[in-house]
Structure 1
Amino acid sequence: MELFVIIAFTHFIALLSPGPDFFLILTTLLRHGRSAARFVCVGIALGNACVLMVIYACLFFLGKIDENILLYVRYIGAVYLIYLAALCLYYAKTEVITTHGKTDAVPTLSSTVSYLSQGLRSSVLNPKNILFYSSLVLLVYVDFRVFQHILMVLWMVTVVLLWNILLVKLLSYKVWIEWLSLKSRWLYYISGGCFIFFSLMLLMMNEFD
């Protein structure tokens, strides 16, 4: 029980550090509103679940985390982050949001799938998730029973979903959304810069391996 509490606390602390998922949620909120951002949050949570399932599958069938999988994810993740950076820089040059209400309509089915897939890709192609989750799973893989592993996975996925939805709710308050809308151009530049920074970090990780 003590080990589970430590893991739960460590996981929550890790959520406090902004990463690609946070900036994807922020830019989606600015461009498409709360509903779209919530679907991105669901996609991110599903991505976390997929990462955990891959880790457990590797441990069950191979007995270890395949390094080649992580290497491929790094390269693909770096390309995806550069793509997101390019989108942010494009938005910064072509639009400045001054009204939020018009972009907060309920998404269509195709838009919903698009937002879910964006969150899913952001989470699955983030090597930080694989490194973090694999280290936690390896720590308890032998000591935990099946139901404890299931509980840990449910905890991690649920906390990710609830935390990100809470962020959307907090950022959607009128005082914040008006400020974010007025500063949207600079926020796009900052988000694009962060995506580029994250992608360079991934490439540098490959150099030091």
Structure 2
Amino acid sequence: MELFLIIALTHFMALLSPGPDFFLIITTLLRKGKKSAHWVCIGIALGNALILIAILSSLFLLEKINVDLLKYIQIGGAIYLIYLAYLCFMYAKTPIEFDIKSVQNVQQSHLVFSNIRMGLQSSLLNPKNIMFYSSLIILIDQDFNTVQKVLLSTWMISIVLIWNLLVLKLISHKKWMNWLKAKSQWLYYISSGCFLFFAMILIFA
């Protein structure tokens, strides 16, 4: 029980620290609307699930985590973050009027998969997620059996999804949306800078 509380606290503290996923949710909300951001949250949770499945499978089959794979993901993550920084920079230079009805119509037609994919890529190409979950799984490897590891992983994925949806609900409130729209250009620039900052950390870490 004590180990679980430590993991729960560590996981919660990790959620509190804004990362690429957080800025992706904000920029999607501003650019495409709440429904699109909702699907991004689902994609992020799905990415976390795939990471945990890969880690658990690696430990079960190889009894170790592939370090070389982490390096490739780190490089891929840096490239993807630079790409997101470029998109945000272009969004800031060419702001658009936010039309909620238009966004909803586009969302219903063909952008669901695209938004899930963006969240999935953000999660899978974020080495912070892989290193964080790897550390936790290694920590509990000797004390938890397979069923307990699966249950803990499911719990962590659920918390990620609930937390991101809660954050989305809070920032999509009318009062906050009016503020976000008024400051959208600067938020795009800030998000672009943050994505570049995260990318530089990956490149020079």
TM-score interval, normalised by the smaller of the two chains? over 0.9
For residue 108 of structure 1, give the secondary structure of its aligned residue in structure 2.
helix
User: Which residue in the other structure is 1:46 paired with?
Assistant: 46
The alignment of Structure 1 onto Structure 2 pairs a total of residues equal to: 204
One-letter amino acid of the structure 1 residue matched with residue 31 of structure 2: R
CA distance in 2, matches of 1:29, 1:188: 12
Per the normalisation by structure 1, the TM-score is 0.94
One-letter amino acid of the structure 2 residue matched with residue 55 of structure 1: I
User: Which residue in the other structure is 1:101 paired with?
Assistant: 100
CA distance in 1, matches of 2:29, 2:172: 8
Asked if the contact 1:81–1:195 (Cα under 8 Å) also holds between the matched residues in 2, the reply is: yes
Asked if the contact 1:96–1:181 (Cα under 8 Å) also holds between the matched residues in 2, the reply is: no
- Structure 2 unaligned blocks of 5 or more: none
Asked if the contact 1:41–1:164 (Cα under 8 Å) also holds between the matched residues in 2, the reply is: yes
One-letter amino acid of the structure 1 residue matched with residue 29 of structure 2: L
> 1:1-209 counterparts in 2 under 5 A?
1-97=1-97, 99=98, 101-102=100-101, 104-105=103-104, 107-108=107-108, 110-205=110-205
Runs of at least 4 residues of structure 1 off by over 6 A? none
Supply the RMSD in Å over aligned alpha carbons: 1.2
Asked if the contact 1:100–1:181 (Cα under 8 Å) also holds between the matched residues in 2, the reply is: no
**CA-CA distance at 1:199 after TM superposition:** 0.4
**CA-CA distance at 1:104 after TM superposition:** 4.6
Asked if the contact 1:47–1:120 (Cα under 8 Å) also holds between the matched residues in 2, the reply is: yes
**CA-CA distance at 1:96 after TM superposition:** 4.7
What's the % identity of the aligned pairs?
54
Per the normalisation by structure 2, the TM-score is 0.96
One-letter amino acid of the structure 1 residue matched with residue 22 of structure 2: F
Asked if the contact 1:74–1:127 (Cα under 8 Å) also holds between the matched residues in 2, the reply is: yes
Asked if the contact 1:37–1:168 (Cα under 8 Å) also holds between the matched residues in 2, the reply is: yes
**CA-CA distance at 1:63 after TM superposition:** 1.2
CA-to-aligned-CA distance 1:8-46 (integer Å, 9 cap, x gap): 121011100000000000000001111000000000000
- Structure 1 unaligned blocks of 5 or more: none
CA distance in 1, matches of 2:193, 2:86: 10
One-letter amino acid of the structure 1 residue matched with residue 104 of structure 2: A
